[in-house]
């Protein structure tokens, strides 16, 4: 039937007709499905970077072609349900996550969960990455009628710090921390992003892993094949890496470069990079297909969007080097997968040069913890731990006979003190330091006495010991440059001791493969009463700086191994000792129990909720107090930032401290001027020799 608008009059009929047309159009638009765009098609069309970004303006797939297929797998209509991206740092993984959030807010708005290791990390990402993207992208910006609802609306209906609302369909982005179960419960979501996955705890509040909680939130949508999940992280320890496990669970893929010379395809490996000795800035890649040197500026043209291939196809291993024809043949045989893993190492990253990789690699040599960091963040691969501790009896060969405990040999320039707190006393180790992380053990002893009352017992003895300072060759006495004192036991007493002098720092050792050597101040938990007095609790207001003990112990064991190897080589070959990074010197009076304690821990594997957890554990029948002292000493060098001192700085400080007693005294970090550096005649230690007749003996003639 035809509706007669004219019976309502000319004016009213025309208005009704106009309204009906508008209603019909709106109804049709509501029924129309969203455009069938892939994420890699949506991003260059709509995503913008703010003007202050490193690469401002519109998103361009050409900048990082290796990200195209990763984004395509996250597209709504792609059968893939879970993408795991194992990557190096600063490789574009987070940008993929940001694109995905903008994409779903536009084309498929629904409940979305974004999980970071902590809620603080999530809110920082929200402020520093997500909202700048939203405000720079007209398609998303609430100020330009975009798909995201504005913040701070007067009626309370806008986006908040924790929850970013979509402008239509009731969808939202919920931020959560993997360290709190409250944000991971009681919500059903369709989409989930887990960023920095390897920093997630293995067991959250004894309720299982955060990954398992995210599984539960996605279950309803996943049962209908409509869920999407993105896991992103740099890897940590091989065998315990969460992103490494997720990468291998489904369909793991590698990225093939195209050789600019013979047009073959190949997976680049670290061994393919070469450079002249001492010139990492000239690093180049020798292609494994035709063995032709290739410069870094050619890397961009070697990356094509179709570069990804599975490790296995139809049960067969895919070769690392392929002709273009063979490569396309393997690509044609790849099948869609519900779970896909992508590995994005530094060697193919758009934002990391080969010379940067080589320079960082050389800088990490000699320090196992630094090498681990390089492997994880720059190389983008899992680090394989060595779980063998150095033989403590072999360490006794490192005792040098020409100086004893309490003496200052030629060499140290900086001094630190590490203190481990026990109920019946304090273990301490006084260490001198020189360039290249070389160390001299100046003293190691146990101060008996009560430690539960501030300023009394062993604390009074430690305070007197500390106030003596250290006398350098030439007679000048300086205070200990930095002390690090264990505050994880009898916290109040340790805090009171550290509050007396500016060079003292309360520290708290904490396990964790991703923690820094010395981190920010955090609340230290302890019990004030009961059978656990002095042990961890949740009620302390005191602050202590965390020490990432896992990595420091890796470095310490590496220094010991390198020193033993250098000394043994000098003794067997009869030549000079080649000084390694972190060379360790021990005096003839090093306490016998120091050797067992200094290497009392080993890396063991413990299954936690069905997953392997690699951790440091004390060997049966051993104590680890002097190991803890050395860990705190290494943390003290981090506080002093000794790694930032150059040759001129060390020479100037050495001249100042080794000068005659009547010379003007100063402070290590007071900043010696260039004129003083030039005028100072810095005494240098005599060449160090090894005597094959009687083991390892350093001879320093004219010591005084």
Query: What single string gives the DSSP state of each residue in 316-360?
Result: EEPPSEE-HHHHHHHHHH----SEEEEEE-GGG-TT--HHHHHHH
Q: What is the pLDDT of residue 523?
A: 56
Instruction: Determine the Cα–Cα distance for residues 352 and 450; give it in Å rounded to an integer.
Output: 54
pLDDT tens string 193-210: 999 999 998 888 778 889
Can you say whether the dihedral through the CA atoms of 688, 691, 695, 697 is positive or negative?
A: negative
Tens of pLDDT, residues 615-635: 899 999 999 999 999 999 999
Q: What pLDDT score was predicted for residue 152? A: 80
Place of tokens 């093939």: 256
Question: In percent, how much of the chain has pLDDT > 70?
Answer: 89
**Domain 392-596+623-679, architecture per CATH:** 2-Layer Sandwich (3.30)
Answer yes or no: are the C-beta atoms of 460 and 445 closer than 8 Å.
no
% helix, strand, coil for the chain, step of 5: 35, 20, 40
Whether the Cβ atoms of residue 647 and residue 435 lie closer than 8 Å to each other: yes
Distances (CA, A) of 155 to 144, 158, 251: 20, 8, 47
100 vs 483: CA distance, rounded Å: 48
The alpha carbon dihedral of 156, 160, 162, 168 has a sign of positive
Sheet (strand 482-486) strand order: 399-400, 584-587, 439-448, 425-433, 414-422, 482-486, 504-510, 543-548, 518-523
CA-closest candidate to residue 214, choices 199, 226, 197:
197
CA angle (257, 258, 264) in 5-degree steps: 120
- On the question of pLDDT at 680 being above 90, the answer is no
Residue 439 is inside which H or E element, if any? strand 439-448
Give the pLDDT mean for 586-605: 93
Reported as type and span, the H/E element at residue 562 is helix 549-573
Judging by beta carbons within 10 Å of its beta carbon (0-12, 13-18, 19+), is residue 400 exposed, middle or buried? Answer: buried
CB 262 within 8 A of CB 331: no
Q: Residue 495 belongs to what H/E stretch?
A: helix 491-499
Nearest to 75 by CA among 109, 110, 39, 103: 39
- What average pLDDT does the chain have? 88
Query: Per-residue pLDDT averaged across 502-523, rounded?
Result: 86
389-416 tens-digit pLDDT? 889 999 998 999 888 888 899 999 999 9
H helix or E strand, kind and range, residue 309:
strand 308-310
In this prediction, residue 513 carries a pLDDT of 86
- How much is the pLDDT for 7? 77
Q: In whole angstroms, how far apart are CA 338 and each of 80, 84, 252, 392?
A: 4, 11, 12, 51
- Give the DSSP H or E segment for 550: helix 549-573
Mean pLDDT of 452-468: 96
**Backbone phi and psi for residue 229, each to the nearest 5 degrees, phi listed first:** -140, 135
The predicted model gives 91-109 an average pLDDT of 95
CB-based contacts of 544, cutoff 8 Å, min separation 6: 487, 488, 491, 494, 495, 506, 507, 508, 521, 522, 524
Of 642 and 31, the one with more pLDDT: 642
Q: Using an 8 Å Cβ cutoff, are 299 and 292 in contact?
A: no
CA distance 593 to 445: 10
Alpha carbons 525 and 142: distance in angstroms, whole number: 44
Query: Kind of pairing, strands 111-116 and 191-195?
Result: parallel
Query: Residue 666 pLDDT > 70, yes or no?
Result: no
Give Cβ neighbours of residue 593 (< 8 Å, ≥ 6 apart): 623, 626
Q: Is 558 helix (H, G, I), strand (E, B) or coil?
A: helix
Of the CA atoms within 13 Å of residue 661, those in its CB half-sphere come to: 7
What does the longest C-alpha to C-alpha distance in the chain come to? 122
Q: Is the pLDDT of residue 698 over 60?
A: no
The DSSP code sequence of 504-530 is: EEEEEEE--TT--SEEEEEEPP--SSS
Q: What is the pLDDT of residues 29-43, one digit of tens each?
A: 666 667 889 999 999
Gap between the Cα atoms of 653 and 633, Å rounded: 20
Element (H, E) at 448: strand 439-448
Rg (CA), the chain: 31
pLDDT, mean of residues 131-150 = 94
pLDDT at 520 over 90: no
pLDDT reported for residue 612: 76
- As a whole number of angstroms, the distance between CA 598 and CA 588 comes to 16
Domain boundaries, the chain: 1-32, 392-596+623-679
Q: Are 400 and 408 in contact (CB under 8 A)?
A: no
pLDDT for the residue numbered 342: 98
Residue written as token pair 């063991």: 604
User: Which of these, 97, 167, 81, 93, lies nearest to 130 by C-alpha position?
Assistant: 97
> Nearest-CA neighbor of 305 among 64, 660, 530, 499?
64
pLDDT in tens, 423-434: 999 999 999 999
Whether residue 702 is predicted with pLDDT greater than 70 in this model: the reply is no
d(CA 657, CA 469): 13
What was the pLDDT predicted at 448?
97
Long-range interactions of 270-279: CB distance < 8 A, separation 24+: 270/347, 270/379, 272/347, 273/347, 273/354, 273/357, 273/358, 275/355, 275/358
Q: pLDDT grade, residue 269 (50/70/90)? A: very high
CB–CB of 397/694 below 8 Å?
A: no
Q: Which two tokens stand for residue 151?
A: 């913040």
Residue 527 pLDDT > 50: no
The CA dihedral of 55, 59, 62, 67, to the nearest 10 degrees, is: 100
Q: Give the helix/strand (H/E) hosting 232.
A: strand 228-233
Cβ distance 85 to 70 under 8 Å? yes
Where would I find the H helices in 267-426?
A: 299-302, 324-333, 354-363, 368-373, 392-395
pLDDT class for 263, splitting at 50, 70, 90?
very high
């Amino acid at each position: 039937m035809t509706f007669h608008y004219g019976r309502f009059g000319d004016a009213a009929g025309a208005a009704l007709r106009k309204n009906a047309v508008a209603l019909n159009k709106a109804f049709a638009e509501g029924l129309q499905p969203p455009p069938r765009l892939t994420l890699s098609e949506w991003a260059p069309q709509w995503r913008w970077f703010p003007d202050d970004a490193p690469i401002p303006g519109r998103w361009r797939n050409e900048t990082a072609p290796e990200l195209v297929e990763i984004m395509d797998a996250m597209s709504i209509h792609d059968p893939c349900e879970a993408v795991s991206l194992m990557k190096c740092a600063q490789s574009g993984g987070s940008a993929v996550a940001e694109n995905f959030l903008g994409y779903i807010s536009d084309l498929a708005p629904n409940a979305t969960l974004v999980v970071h290791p902590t809620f603080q990390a999530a809110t920082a990402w929200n402020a520093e990455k997500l909202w700048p993207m939203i405000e720079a992208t007209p398609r998303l910006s609430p100020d330009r009628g975009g798909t995201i609802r504005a913040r701070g609306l007067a009626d309370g209906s806008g986006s908040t710090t924790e929850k970013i609302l979509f402008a239509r369909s009731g969808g939202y982005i919920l931020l959560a921390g993997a360290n709190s179960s409250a944000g991971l419960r009681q919500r059903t979501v369709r989409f989930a992003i887990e960023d920095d996955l390897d920093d997630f705890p293995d067991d959250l509040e004894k309720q299982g892993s955060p990954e398992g909680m995210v599984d539960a939130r996605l279950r309803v949508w996943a049962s209908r094949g409509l869920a999407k999940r993105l896991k992103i992280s740099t890897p940590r320890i091989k065998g315990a890496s969460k992103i490494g496990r997720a990468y291998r669970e489904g369909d793991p893929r590698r990225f093939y470069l195209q050789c600019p010379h013979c047009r073959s395809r190949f997976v680049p490996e670290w061994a393919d990079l070469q450079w002249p000795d001492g010139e990492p800035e000239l690093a180049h890649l020798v292609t494994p297909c035709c063995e032709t040197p290739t410069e870094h500026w050619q890397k961009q043209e070697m990356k094509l969007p179709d570069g990804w291939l599975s490790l296995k196809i139809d049960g067969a291993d895919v070769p690392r080097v392929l002709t273009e024809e063979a490569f396309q043949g393997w690509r044609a045989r790849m099948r869609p997968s519900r779970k896909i893993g992508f590995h994005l190492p530094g060697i193919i990253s758009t934002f990391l040069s080969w010379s940067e990789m080589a320079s960082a690699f050389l800088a990490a040599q000699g320090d196992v913890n630094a090498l681990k960091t390089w492997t994880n963040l720059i190389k983008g691969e899992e680090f394989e731990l060595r779980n063998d501790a150095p033989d403590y009896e072999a360490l006794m060969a490192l005792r040098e006979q020409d100086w004893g405990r309490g003496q200052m040999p030629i060499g140290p320039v900086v001094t630190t003190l590490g203190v481990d707190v026990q109920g019946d006393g304090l273990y301490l180790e006084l260490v001198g330091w020189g360039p290249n992380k070389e160390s001299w053990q100046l003293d190691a002893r146990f101060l008996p006495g009560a430690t539960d009352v501030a300023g009394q017992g062993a604390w009074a003895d430690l305070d007197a010991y500390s106030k003596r300072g250290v006398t350098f060759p030439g007679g000048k006495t300086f205070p200990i440059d930095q002390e690090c004192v264990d505050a994880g036991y009898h916290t109040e007493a340790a805090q009171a001791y550290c509050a007396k002098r500016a060079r003292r720092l309360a520290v708290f050792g904490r396990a964790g493969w991703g923690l820094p050597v010395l981190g920010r101040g955090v609340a230290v938990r302890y019990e004030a009463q009961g059978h656990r007095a002095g042990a961890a609790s949740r009620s302390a207001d005191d602050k202590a700086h965390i020490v990432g003990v896992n990595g420091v112990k890796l470095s310490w064991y590496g220094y010991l191994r390198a020193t033993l190897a250098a000394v043994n080589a000098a003794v067997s070959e009869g030549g000079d000792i080649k000084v390694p990074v972190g060379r360790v010197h021990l005096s003839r009076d090093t306490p016998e129990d120091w050797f067992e304690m200094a290497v009392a821990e080993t890396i063991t594997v413990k299954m936690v909720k069905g997953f392997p957890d690699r951790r440091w554990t004390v060997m049966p029948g051993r104590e680890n107090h002097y190991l803890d002292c050395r860990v705190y000493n290494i943390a003290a060098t981090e506080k002093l930032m000794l790694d930032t001192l150059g040759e001129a700085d060390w020479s100037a400080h050495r001249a100042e401290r080794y000068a005659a007693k009547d010379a003007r005294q100063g402070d290590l970090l007071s900043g010696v001027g260039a004129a003083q550096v030039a005028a100072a005649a810095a005494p240098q230690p005599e060449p160090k020799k090894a005597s094959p007749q009687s083991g390892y003996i350093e001879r320093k003639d004219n010591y005084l």
